[in-house]
Amino acid sequence: MVSSVINPAGAGRDSDFSRTDEYIFFARFGSASVAPEGRMAGETAVVWDTLRRSSLAGARGNKGPGACGPNQFFPVYVDKETGVISAIGEPLPENVAVNDAPAMKGCITVLPIRPDGTEMNWGITPGVAKRLLENGYLRAGKAKLKEPQKYVISYLTSGIVNDIEAGVAILRGKNPDGTVDAFYPSGRDKMPTTNWNRPSHDAQQYGTKVVNALLSNRPFPYPKSLYAVEDALRFFIGGKPNAIVVDFFAGSGTTAHAVIRLNKQDNGLRQCISVTNNEVAAKEHDALRKQELRPGDPNWEKLGICDYITKPRVAAAVTGITPSGEPIRGDYKFIDEFPMSDGFEANAEFFTLTYETPVAVNHSIAFTRVSPLLWLRAGSRGKRIDKLPPDGWAVVDAYGLLSDVDATDAFVKAIKKSNGLRVAFIVTDDDRRFQNIVRRLPDHVEPVRLYESYLTNFNFAKGD
């Protein structure tokens, strides 16, 4: 149990203590542990990591497990005279040879190539590299002009960058090449305490005012500080860039917003699943009933917490635009400071749980309402198949759908050409035909059978 000051000025009734804090409970299971905030006493220099991927899974053109994206093979231009990185180039298509990489006047072109000539990938994308370079977190080492990669390119990982910007690692200043000179106070780990009194946790300043800025002053009672939730998450998933966070009482969507911020700070791919009802505030009931409205009416539901607050808040955070179409005013504070109107490189999908009759689904009337389940089952990534394909099959980023087994040849051929596809949904009641199709699929593709009566038989249980 952690006591957290959320209202330094205090709030309470007359003749009573003025309350300043609330309590946060952390329940830990299995090997879950709290991450330290930093180290105490002494001094240790920050460690620069090699930017080139080390595992052969990260080789250029590899499509298997651990492969990099197509944008991680790009030139880094190092000034011939100073040995300082001058610019970051654009990604080279796979059909472009190393010798055909664009040159830059006065610079040496550096590409991620092993001494044996194996073409690898950098560990980050060009956009991230540019941001690191601008902030002094990317550098060129000693020249090795006789090797395929002319300079060793190094960078500070997201965790160290976060530590520098949070003050956990101490910044002395800048080196002659413009990179940061920073160190850790070394010694024992400094663990977070059970009493938090941090300016960033003020619920009025960084909860209510943040929501007002995002939603153009739509009322929502007692939102939590964005940065308090961010800190609470960081102690457990700061080092887990692929974590999945589930929030069953999403409220205004602060948890999803905090996860988005964590992802930006370390280029993480964390997912947040936010669940809420669409309850209308009690004080709105009388006015709506006087208009002869009832739950379920569109004009009633539009004022529910999900449609009026949660979804618009998440959408505003991602896009940087308020529901009224205006850029969000104000800046994010602490650790990662930038204008709210910049938004984030993030994706958000909104779903409403409904009840569909088996008859409607059997006749394909409600397939568009079932289709999100397939997308979720395949990993919630890439495009979605929203309609039954007229050709009897369709293939998108993460999965394929075969709705007419007579189109199997074209379906299997398309799957074999795709990259990153992991699930094939096959619609058939015929056991033998299903098994025949499965035998033709690549080994890395998981077959999932959908009986023709989708809703009564579809089992939404994600496998390993």
In a shared domain, residues 174 and 70 = yes
The verdict on residue 332 lying in a domain is: yes
Nearest to 114 by CA among 165, 154, 160, 54: 54
The verdict on residue 311 lying in a domain is: yes
In a shared domain, residues 86 and 53 = yes
What's at 385, amino acid-wise? I
Q: What is the pLDDT along the chain (464 residues), one digit of tens a residue?
A: 999 999 888 877 677 888 899 999 999 888 888 888 765 555 778 889 999 988 787 889 888 766 777 889 999 999 999 999 999 999 999 889 999 999 999 999 999 999 889 999 999 999 999 999 999 999 999 888 889 999 999 999 888 888 888 888 888 888 989 999 988 876 556 788 899 988 899 999 999 999 999 998 888 888 999 999 999 999 999 889 999 999 999 999 999 999 999 999 888 999 999 999 988 877 778 888 888 888 878 888 888 889 999 999 999 999 999 999 999 998 998 888 889 999 998 889 898 887 766 666 555 566 777 888 899 889 888 899 998 899 999 999 999 999 999 999 999 999 999 988 999 999 888 889 999 999 999 999 999 998 765 544 444 443 44
In a shared domain, residues 282 and 397 = no
The verdict on residue 276 lying in a domain is: yes
In a shared domain, residues 86 and 158 = yes
Do 408 and 440 meet the contact criterion of CB atoms below 8 Å apart? yes
Q: What is the DSSP string of 22-53?
A: EEE-----TT--PPP-EE-SS-EEPPPEESB-
pLDDT at res. 455:
40
In a shared domain, residues 396 and 283 = no
In a shared domain, residues 268 and 165 = no
In a shared domain, residues 333 and 375 = no
Distances (CA, A) of 82 to 3, 104, 461: 52, 15, 57
The verdict on residue 360 lying in a domain is: no
pLDDT at res. 357:
67
Domain that holds residue 412: 370-457
Structure tokens at 234: 């960081």
Q: Which of 324, 342, 360 is the last residue of a domain?
A: 342
The verdict on residue 29 lying in a domain is: no
Count Cβ atoms within 10 A of the Cβ of residue 414 and give its class: 0-12 exposed, 13-18 middle, 19 or more buried. Answer: middle
pLDDT at res. 359:
64
The verdict on residue 290 lying in a domain is: yes
Q: Which of 152, 183, 214 is the last residue of a domain?
A: 183
In a shared domain, residues 409 and 316 = no
In a shared domain, residues 377 and 330 = no
pLDDT at res. 45:
81
Edge-first strand order for the sheet with 195-196 is 21-24, 2-5, 195-196
Q: Classify strands 423-427 and 399-402 as parallel, antiparallel or unpaired.
A: parallel
Distance between CA atoms of 449 and 431, rounded to whole angstroms? 10
CA dihedral 442, 447, 451, 455 (to 10 degrees): -140
SS3 257: helix
The verdict on residue 58 lying in a domain is: yes
Do 52 and 120 meet the contact criterion of CB atoms below 8 Å apart? yes
Q: How distant is the alpha carbon of residue 60 from its chain centre?
A: 24
Count Cβ atoms within 10 A of the Cβ of residue 152 and give its class: 0-12 exposed, 13-18 middle, 19 or more buried. Answer: middle
pLDDT at res. 460:
42
In a shared domain, residues 104 and 204 = no
In a shared domain, residues 280 and 172 = no
pLDDT at res. 66:
65
Q: How many domains does the chain have?
A: 3
The verdict on residue 356 lying in a domain is: no
Query: Cβ neighbours of residue 134 under 8 Å, at least 6 residues apart?
Result: none
Q: Which of 139, 156, 183 is the last residue of a domain?
A: 183
In a shared domain, residues 377 and 321 = no
Do 3 and 196 meet the contact criterion of CB atoms below 8 Å apart? yes
The CB density around residue 365, as the number of other CB atoms within 10 Å, is 12
